[in-house]
Amino acid sequence: MGSLKIENVKKSFGKVDVLKGIDLEVRDGEFVVFVGPSGCGKSTLLRIIAGLEDLTAGDVKIDGEKVDHVPPAKRGIAMVFQTYALYPHLSVRNNMGLGLKQAGTPAAEIEKRIAASSAMLSLEPYLERRPAELSGGQRQRVAIGRALVREPKLFLFDEPLSNLDAALRVNTRLEIAQLHRRLKATMIYVTHDQVEAMTLADKIVVLNGGRIEQVGGPMELYNSPANEFVAGFIGSPKMNFIDGARLGETAKTIGVRPEHLTVDAKNGTWKGTVIHAEHLGADTNLYIDTEKAGLLTVRIFGVYNAEPGATVYATPEPGKTYRFGSDGKVVA
Ligand SMILES: Nc1ncnc2c1ncn2[C@@H]1O[C@H](COP(=O)(O)OP(=O)(O)O)[C@@H](O)[C@H]1O
Ligand SMILES: [Mg+2]
């Protein structure tokens, strides 16, 4: 079992309020991602759950029990960090087993768990190597293996893929998703990357400035963002925001995603001039300076040839625009 309840958690460092009242429930077996810009308090919240940081107010409950007096090692939690923090002089096998050995686990049990975990992570060929003899991706798998052997109730990941190159990030992301499906363990994963959040999470928690902006499934946040912040943070390229007054609208801001705009050389809603075309192969990002709506990004499926300076018209898909009030919240 590994359920978690966070009640009105606040954290201040001196006079700086870093977490301003966080309420959150994580069900047993859920994959929850904390996402938000750098400095919004993600790591602090994760460290509070792990017991590595005291809280200023509020409660953390694991499986219904308050854990404020439970030391980190006794919380049934394992944490994986961005920096792998492996012991350079120890083999993969000993890096994975060290924590268990220190906790007094019998040698046979340690061997059994290393065998199971290294099989799951395809690390068997590397068990006798030292970290320096591994690639970055393999090192991060060892760090995950070190967490796995502890058989925790709760896995905490703090930006574990940030040090890997793009291709490895995708591979390792896939491995973590499969691992979660196989183990059915509760996982909380911190990232500043909304793509990681969208691809991994059952439930995404969007944090900003020490507060939760919205909690929901990936498609829920994409389709029904509660406010301008979430609308702009989830989705790539970012949602276009147009000053409502320019369009004669009562809403402060009108939002439309780049993939919900179509372009045509002759007809459409907003006439504009092509500024730049980004050819990504599978699709094209077109930047258009429009008379009425300002600068717009349009995402077109496939190849679209347009020279800078060409006149085009952008048209929003019906029913795919968002309206935000002066407080940034969605309005009907
Ligand atoms: N030990 C600390 N002392 C003072 N300020 C801290 C400490 N740890 C974090 N902070 C501040 O708290 C804020 C949130 O930090 P952090 O949780 O690491 O953000 P994130 O992980 O979302 O990037 C930042 O402004 C950071 O400077
Ligand atoms: Mg952090």
Structural tokens at position 329: 């919240």
pLDDT of residue 1 exceeding 90, the answer is no
In tens, the pLDDT along 91-135 reads 999 999 999 999 999 999 999 999 999 998 889 999 999 999 999
Cis peptide bond upstream of 308, omega within 30: no
pLDDT of residue 171: 87
Please determine whether the domains at 4-230 and 238-324 fall in the same fold group of CATH. Answer: no
Atom of ligand 1 nearest to the CA of 14: 4
Q: Are strands 77-80 and 240-243 parallel, antiparallel or unpaired?
A: unpaired
Q: Is 18 touching ligand 1 by the criterion CB < 6 Å?
A: yes
Under the banding of pLDDT at 50, 70 and 90, the label for residue 82 is: confident
Structural tokens at position 157: 């990941």
In tens, the pLDDT along 23-40 reads 999 999 999 999 999 999
Our mutation pick for probing the ligand 1 site, out of 10, 12, 16, 18, counting the most ligand atoms within 8 A of Cβ, is: 18
Q: Which helix (H) or strand (E) holds 112?
A: helix 107-120
Q: Which residues, 6 or more positions from 290, have their beta carbon under 8 angstroms from its beta carbon?
A: 270, 271, 272, 296, 314
Q: Kindly report the length of the chain.
A: 332
Q: What are the angstrom distances between the C-alpha of 196 and each of 93, 192, 236, 248?
A: 29, 8, 12, 37
Under the banding of pLDDT at 50, 70 and 90, the label for residue 83 is: confident
Atom of ligand 1 nearest to the CA of 47: 17
CATH hierarchy code of domain 4-230: 3.40.50.300
pLDDT of residue 218 exceeding 80, the answer is yes
Our mutation pick for probing the ligand 1 site, out of 9, 19, 44, 162, counting the most ligand atoms within 8 A of Cβ, is: 44
- Mean pLDDT confidence for 143-155: 93
pLDDT of residue 154: 96
pLDDT of residue 240: 98
pLDDT of residue 124: 95
In angstroms, what is the span from residue 16 Cα to ligand 1's centroid? 10
What 13-19 contacts at long range (C-beta under 8 Å, 24+ apart), as own/partner pairs, is 17/210, 18/44, 18/210, 19/44, 19/45, 19/48, 19/55, 19/56, 19/210
CATH topology classification for 238-324? OB fold (Dihydrolipoamide Acetyltransferase, E2P) (2.40.50)
- Mean pLDDT confidence for 130-157: 93
In tens, the pLDDT along 233-276 reads 999 999 999 999 999 999 999 999 999 999 999 999 999 999 99
Structural tokens at position 80: 């994986």
pLDDT of residue 207 exceeding 80, the answer is yes
pLDDT of residue 84 exceeding 90, the answer is no
pLDDT of residue 271: 98
More confident position, 193 or 84: 193
- Mean pLDDT confidence for 11-33: 97
pLDDT of residue 164: 86
**Which residue puts its alpha carbon closest to atom 17 of ligand 1?**
41
Q: Is 42 touching ligand 1 by the criterion CB < 6 Å?
A: yes
* Ligand closest in space to the Cα of 38: 1
Number of neighbours of residue 139 by Cβ within 10 angstroms? 22
* Ligand closest in space to the Cα of 40: 1
**Which residue puts its alpha carbon closest to atom 20 of ligand 1?**
39
**Which residue puts its alpha carbon closest to atom 8 of ligand 1?**
44
pLDDT of residue 206 exceeding 90, the answer is yes
Domain boundaries, the chain: 4-230, 238-324
- Please provide the average confidence, as pLDDT, over all residues in the chain: 95
